[in-house]
Amino acid sequence: MRKKIVAGNWKMHTTPDEGLTLARQVMETAHANEHREVIFFAPFVHLTTLQKEVSVSPFFSVGAQNCSNHEKGAFTGEVAAFMLRSIDVSWVLVGHSERRQYYHENHTILKQKVDQALSQQLLVMFCCGETLDQRMEGNFREVIRKQLEESLFHLDATQMNQVAIAYEPVWAIGTGQTATPDQAQEVHAFIRELIKQKYGDGVAARVRIVYGGSVKPDNAKDLFNKPDIDGGLVGGASLNALDFVTIIHAAE
Ligand code: 13P
């Protein structure tokens, strides 16, 4: 049985103090459950303090929203995977559509980021998903296949066990327009099938595939009940402790 993941992506919101308060509220209110884990993907300047706070609980962990595609060196403004490792951050988000769109992160850069993260024993949550145009044109399966093949499928099976996948249809992010549970399930099953073809049954059965895009307290349960949806990557609703806790409790 796959352990569910409910992850909050705070994006570029909250000061470190506000983030700490939010995480405390969530940790105090959410019921512990060994069948799920909760991740806070916080801005870089939060991570040191947040990690210390969160590390007391086995059910919660901290992730960065990005890392450099380079190991180290003259890359002003970048944060390297080894720096994240040094403060015991567990996860790093790679390939979020906002990074692809606004910072022009292409398949090659994302592949390098995946490699940097794994070389520092960070767990990777790799995001994929199609735009509205790509869905309308009907070739979204090819888009997702390419995203996975170009940036992830060079990994071996052992490395692949360090990866979770977030399916985030771009048209559903921050729009209030959620993919229906059936629409999401169809893509999740497709992604699992791709992994099965590449890595075999064992890896495919183990890999967690979470859904992101306007996950809210009132739609989380229907999404998370689908057989191939192993939890959620939550943006807006993760900034409200009560909403986020309701979403966490939806993952049973
Ligand atoms: P929203 O939940 O605000 O749609 O954001 C989804 C997302 O991008 C999570 O990474």
CATH number at residue 8: 3.20.20.70
Q: Report the amino acid identity of residue 234.
A: V
Cβ(233) – ligand 1 distance below 6 Å: yes
Percentage, residues of the chain above pLDDT 70: 100
Contacts for 130 with CB less than 8 Å, ≥ 6 apart: 140, 143, 144, 169, 170, 171
Three-state DSSP class for residue 89: coil
What ligand 1 atom has the least distance to the C-alpha of 41? 10
Give the DSSP letter of residue 165. Answer: E
Tokens of 87: 């403060």
End-to-end CA separation in angstroms for the chain: 12
User: In a mutational test of the pocket of ligand 1, which residue from 168, 178, 246 has the highest number of ligand atoms less than 8 Å from its CB?
Assistant: 168
Cβ(168) – ligand 1 distance below 6 Å: yes
Positive or negative: CA dihedral 75, 81, 86, 88: positive
Distance in angstroms (rounded) separating the CA atoms of residues 231 and 229? 6
| pLDDT at residue 176 is higher than 90 | no
| pLDDT at residue 57 is higher than 90 | yes
Cα 23 to ligand 1 centroid, rounded to whole Å:
18
Q: What pLDDT sits at residue 152? A: 98
Q: What pLDDT sits at residue 208? A: 98
Q: What pLDDT sits at residue 177? A: 84
Q: Which residues pair with 126 in a beta bridge?
A: 94, 165
35 is catalytic: no
Cβ(9) – ligand 1 distance below 6 Å: yes
Distance in angstroms (rounded) separating the CA atoms of residues 66 and 81? 9
For residue 44, what pLDDT band results from cuts at 50, 70 and 90? very high
Cβ(174) – ligand 1 distance below 6 Å: yes
Query: Mean per-residue pLDDT for 207-214?
Result: 97
Distance in angstroms (rounded) separating the CA atoms of residues 98 and 112? 18
Query: Mean per-residue pLDDT for 106-135?
Result: 97
Cβ(147) – ligand 1 distance below 6 Å: no
Q: Whose CA is nearest to atom 5 of ligand 1?
A: 235
Distance in angstroms (rounded) separating the CA atoms of residues 140 and 144? 6
Distance in angstroms (rounded) separating the CA atoms of residues 86 and 113? 17
Domain of 126 in residue numbering reads as 4-250
CB-based contact 124:195 (threshold 8 Å): no
- Say how many domains are in the chain: 1
Question: Of 37, 46, 96, 105, which one is the catalytic site residue?
Answer: 96
Average confidence score pLDDT of the chain: 97
User: In a mutational test of the pocket of ligand 1, which residue from 127, 214, 223, 243 has the highest number of ligand atoms less than 8 Å from its CB?
Assistant: 214
For residue 148, what pLDDT band results from cuts at 50, 70 and 90? very high
Distance in angstroms (rounded) separating the CA atoms of residues 152 and 217? 31
User: In a mutational test of the pocket of ligand 1, which residue from 127, 215, 238 has the highest number of ligand atoms less than 8 Å from its CB?
Assistant: 215
What ligand 1 atom has the least distance to the C-alpha of 174? 4
> pTM of whole model > 0.85?
yes
